[in-house]
Amino acid sequence: MLELLLPQRCVVCSVQGVQVCERCRAGLPRIGAPLCERCGAPTAWPVARCAECSGRRLAFGSARAAVPYDDAVRALVREWKERGLRRLALLAADLVAGTVERPDGATLVPVPADRDRSLKRGHEPATQLASELGRRWELPVERLLRRTRAGQRQRGLSQADRRANVRGAFAAARQIQTRIVLIDDVYTTGSTANAAASALRKGGARRVDVVTFARTIRIR
């Protein structure tokens, strides 16, 4: 009855039937080599540091993502995060596991959501993604980060404001003595990832890498 009244539609093209149709799923571009070795941005040839991350002090060793944050992925992420279509975490995890190399000997740690936004949404996308990746990669998932304060939404802020907004916003939940892979839904400027990685490093993590479902691609 619910399917008759509210038929399921593809969040990208609106065709009736499934949350993401096969055509749209197959059409999602993957991020592949050549890449910046550090931040994972696509480059014309392999580089240790690209123009996007050169000169920045980054607390993480590397960042990788499965897909570019284009219009189709933006629609998918919006439905997943803001409209509660939690099964889209399965698709996101499939794409990440099929694109990003499995991080051996690591513990997966989700970036904790702001408490108020988490209560409003009723779920935490980064935690869902980490859980699904843990199953696919057969790696432990632990909540080793906590929010120390609420912050303004990052959306719409300049790069400098994004950095200021998340500076000191995270802390390690306990002492850490392992390699960490930080999991989040979208890498935009790297400000959130860097602040979270810095907190984990202060907590004792030997190395922190970052894996996200999507990342913003800047055209230069």
Report the amino acid identity of residue 84: G
Domain that holds residue 132: 32-153+163-215
- The answer to whether 191 and 165 have CB atoms below 8 angstroms apart is yes
Q: What are phi and psi of 210, to 5 degrees?
A: -125, 135
Q: Is residue 20 part of a domain?
A: no
Q: Is residue 10 part of a domain?
A: no
Q: Is residue 1 part of a domain?
A: no
Write the CA distances from 106 to 58, 181, 211, integer angstroms: 19, 6, 12
Q: Is residue 47 part of a domain?
A: yes
- The answer to whether 183 and 130 have CB atoms below 8 angstroms apart is yes
pLDDT at residue 131, as a whole number? 97
Q: Is residue 18 part of a domain?
A: no
pLDDT at residue 106, as a whole number? 92
Q: Is residue 2 part of a domain?
A: no
pLDDT at residue 2, as a whole number? 47
Q: Nearest CA to 86 among 117, 120, 129?
A: 129
Summarised one tens digit per residue, pLDDT across range 104-154 is 989 999 999 877 666 666 678 999 999 999 999 999 999 999 988 766 565
pTM as predicted: 0.88
Question: Cα angle at 35 between 93 and 171, to 5 degrees?
Answer: 60
| 125-137 helix and 88-99 helix, angle to the nearest 10 degrees | 50
Report the amino acid identity of residue 74: R
CATH of the domain at 132: 3.40.50
User: Which residues in the chain land under pLDDT 70?
Assistant: 1-6, 116-122, 150-165, 168, 219-220
Q: Is residue 38 part of a domain?
A: yes
Q: Is residue 19 part of a domain?
A: no
Q: What are phi and psi of 109, to 5 degrees?
A: -130, 115
Q: Is the dihedral of CA 183, 189, 192, 198 positive or negative?
A: positive
**Structural domains of the chain, count:** 1
Task: Give how far the C-alpha of residue 190 lies from the chain's centroid of Cα atoms, to the nearest Å.
Answer: 10
